[in-house]
Chain A
Amino acid sequence: MSEPEKKNLAASNDEASFLSRRQFFVKLGAGSLAITGAGATVFAVQYLSPNVLYEPSPIVGVGRPEHFPIDSVTLDPRAAIFVVHAQKGFYAMSSVCTHLGCLTVWRQDEGIIACPCHGSTFRPDGKVIGGPAPRPLQWLKMWIGNDGNLMVDRSANIASESEYVQL
């Protein structure tokens, strides 16, 4: 290899290392920006999610079992739940429509539960009869409290027809 060629090689090596240094800093900068962006996103999501909510307790008492005659469906609008006394026993369902969150109502004369927003209809056991609702109404954990009242935990979902409360 002749002298000039060596020089050229050295020069191009220098250039290559210069470029890679530049590339290194570009990558460093872009990487720092990405990390900052990701961190800011995490902080933003945390900040936007309240840690304490002043929402009512999920556990509600719905009244004494004697108030619900057999084969009756009773809407408790305050708690947004249905209390049903069927042949097999008592159970509770959320009255929140599984479609888009409207509150369903019990239609005594037709014997169905109906949603006023988009026309979903349900049987008293929560099964969908018609309309756009994707799932049956949500069954909720129910028990008899120490004071003899029926209690419902609205945050405790249970499978449909899995539990009945017997007196």
Chain B
Amino acid sequence: MAAEEGSAPVRLWDAPTRLVHWAMALLIPYSWWTATHDQLERHRLSGYILLGLLLFRLIWGAIGSGPSRFATFVRGPGGVVRYLRGESGAAPPGHNPLGGWSVLAMLAALAAQIGLGLFAVDEDGLESGPLSYLIDFDTARWLAGIHHKLFWVIVALVALHIGAILFYLARGRNLTAAMVTGRMRAGADTEAPAMAPLWRAALAATIAAAIAWFVASGLRF
């Protein structure tokens, strides 16, 4: 993916993908801050929004615009090895095979973190996730311990993600700008990625919000 000079900008990241990305980038640190400052009401709310965003992103990974789909950017181990050896040849714009796994790892860690938080309870038995009533105190405390530790796994994955962005920035490619504007320069022969219509995003958002609401209400209507 060379050829920046004289190339035309193509639409890469659609608005829903960018919105979800930046909302997560804000809410993950916010979740940490509220958890460490005894603001568990806000911590729960932040978690519920993140759950909705995550669910949306998973649906969007199936029915969203081309570059946002898992089928576009998730490659098997063979694909990753070929990419690392520089044998992949021309690739569509967007996540490279290694970056695709970075995205999956971050989404998986976030999913696990939200799942643990739903069942966690604090040491006093006062503050708790909306599903903690389904399990006993000792199990909920155990899950809360993992919830604390897993945060640092997320920090490590995000550090790797930012490290990769800085690596490309040093080589003259600004990936952050593409995530802000949604556009990036590509070779003239690059096919413009297919963009999903807005109604599909509305549908995915409605489904994601409904599931997140149901879970936040403790699986009760």
Q: Do A and B come from one complex?
A: no
